Amino acid sequence: MTAVPLLFVALFVLQKLIDARTRTEAQAEEELLLSSPSAIKKMSLGYDGLLADVYWTRAVQYYGTRLGEHRQTYNLLWPLLDITTTLDPKIIPVYHFGAIFLAEPVVGANRPDLALKLVKRGVAANPTVWGLYSDLGFLYYWHFRDYKDAAAAYLAGSETPQGPAWMKIMAARMNQKLGSIDTSLMIWSQIYNSHTDPNIRKLALKTLRGLKAQKDEQTIEGLADQYRQRFGHYPASMAALREAGYVRGVPVDPDGYPYVLGPDGKASLDPHSTVIIPKVPTTPPPPPVN
């Protein structure tokens, strides 16, 4: 009779060995057993709401796990969110999550086109939710630099029953076709304030810090230009700028490190700083894929 638990222990150990052997292969390619959203919807036998919740939970865990492992690719994110929203198009947090992390290059799937597709689906199914228009506007502005469509999105959002006033203001700013840092700061502040998802807030905070740093650098470079106009040459360093009275104290970046001013009048961050200035594409992005 004692053979039974002993055999179970042996089986347990054996299974662990088998798992260790197959894990490396599983890591190489992630797979969804079923990936056709319409097929899954059909097979759900009417319990699609529940299945949607399951897939959403899976998506969140998938993202969180890979983020924790410092992964570069998030290939399953789109299929999981696609399935979730096909099963239940009315789960709003899914669209917010997708808008940010499907499009995001480093800590996301780097597919702004898919993010756009997802959010458009969300807007079609939930036309009165202003937050989705905000996601749309964000995508057009931040990832596609498409100011016209961004303006339209913010305007539409402002006209929903609970649409906040700031969306009208944002629409106006978009119409001015300016990629200003202030606009970006406004948008990312909005994202930070209106979402509770800790991952989103973390990214927003990081971006905001980068934007602030970018703005500070612009300010410092402007002062350096003024110095050159007065003295005929760029200041040698931040110290020189301070001595000339253009700045007070030691300006530090959001990470607490002092800004560095080069002899060419360009400001930059201290090498130890963890602040990252968001990359702004210099070449026009490819047109959005619908």
In whole angstroms, the minimum distance from the beta carbon of 144 to other proteins comes to 26
In whole angstroms, the minimum distance from the beta carbon of 42 to other proteins comes to 7
Query: Count of residues for the chain?
Result: 290
Residues 137 and 170 sit within 8 Å (Cβ to Cβ): yes
Residues 220 and 267 sit within 8 Å (Cβ to Cβ): yes
- Residues 139-198 touching other proteins, rule: CB under 8 A, are 196-198
Stretch near other proteins under the rule CB under 8 A, chosen from 91-99, 108-116, 228-236, 281-289: 91-99
- Name the residue nearer to other proteins (CB basis): 38 or 226: 38
In whole angstroms, the minimum distance from the beta carbon of 263 to other proteins comes to 49
- Name the residue nearer to other proteins (CB basis): 61 or 237: 61
Residue 101 within binding range of other proteins, rule CB under 8 A? no
3-state secondary structure of 27: helix
- Name the residue nearer to other proteins (CB basis): 87 or 155: 87
Residue 104 within binding range of other proteins, rule CB under 8 A? no
Residues 91 and 85 sit within 8 Å (Cβ to Cβ): yes
Angle, to 10 degrees, between the axis of helix 166-175 and the axis of helix 147-158?
160
Cα–Cα distance for residue pair 108/102, rounded to 1 Å = 6
- Name the residue nearer to other proteins (CB basis): 34 or 50: 50
- Name the residue nearer to other proteins (CB basis): 48 or 255: 48
- Give the count of beta carbons closer than 10 Å to the beta carbon of residue 30: 13
DSSP 260: E
Cα–Cα distance for residue pair 288/208, rounded to 1 Å = 25
3-state secondary structure of 252: strand
Contacting residue, 40, 80, 91, 238, with other proteins by CB under 8 A: 91
CA distances for 235 relative to 137, 229, 279, angstroms? 41, 11, 27
- Total binding residues for other proteins by CB under 8 A? 22
- Residues 19-78 touching other proteins, rule: CB under 8 A, are 42, 45-50, 52-53, 56-57, 60-61
In whole angstroms, the minimum distance from the beta carbon of 105 to other proteins comes to 22
Per DSSP, what are the bridge partners of residue 258?
A: 252
Per DSSP, what are the bridge partners of residue 261?
A: 267
- Name the residue nearer to other proteins (CB basis): 86 or 183: 86
Stretch near other proteins under the rule CB under 8 A, chosen from 17-25, 85-93, 103-111, 206-214: 85-93
Residues 84 and 55 sit within 8 Å (Cβ to Cβ): yes
Write out the residues near other proteins by the rule CB under 8 A.
Answer: 42, 45-50, 52-53, 56-57, 60-61, 88, 90-93, 97, 196-198
